[in-house]
Amino acid sequence: MFRRSFGGLVGVVRCRVDELREEADRIHAELAVAEGEWNEWVIARSRVGEVLAPDGDVVVSDPSEGLPDPGGRPVRPGPAEAAKPKSVVPMRRAGSVWSALSQDYQRILRALADRDRLGQGPLTCQEMAGCFGLDPVPAKVEALRSKAKRLVARGWPAESAPGRFTLAKDVAGPGGGS
pLDDT of residue 65: 40
Q: Any idea of the CA torsion for 48, 37, 132, 152, to the nearest 10 degrees?
A: -50
Q: Do you know the residue count of the chain?
A: 178
Torsional sign, CA 76, 80, 86, 89:
negative
Global pTM reads 0.49
Q: Model confidence over 44-57: pLDDT tens digits? A: 887 777 777 655 44
Residue 116 has pLDDT above 70, yes or no: yes
Mean pLDDT of 107-118: 91
Residue 139 has pLDDT above 60, yes or no: yes
Residue 70 has pLDDT above 50, yes or no: no
More confident residue, 118 or 75: 118
Q: Model confidence over 12-28: pLDDT tens digits? A: 888 999 999 899 888 88
Kindly report the three-state secondary structure assignment for every residue of 17-48: HHHHHHHHHHHHHHHHHHHHHHHHHHHHHHHH
DSSP state of 16: H
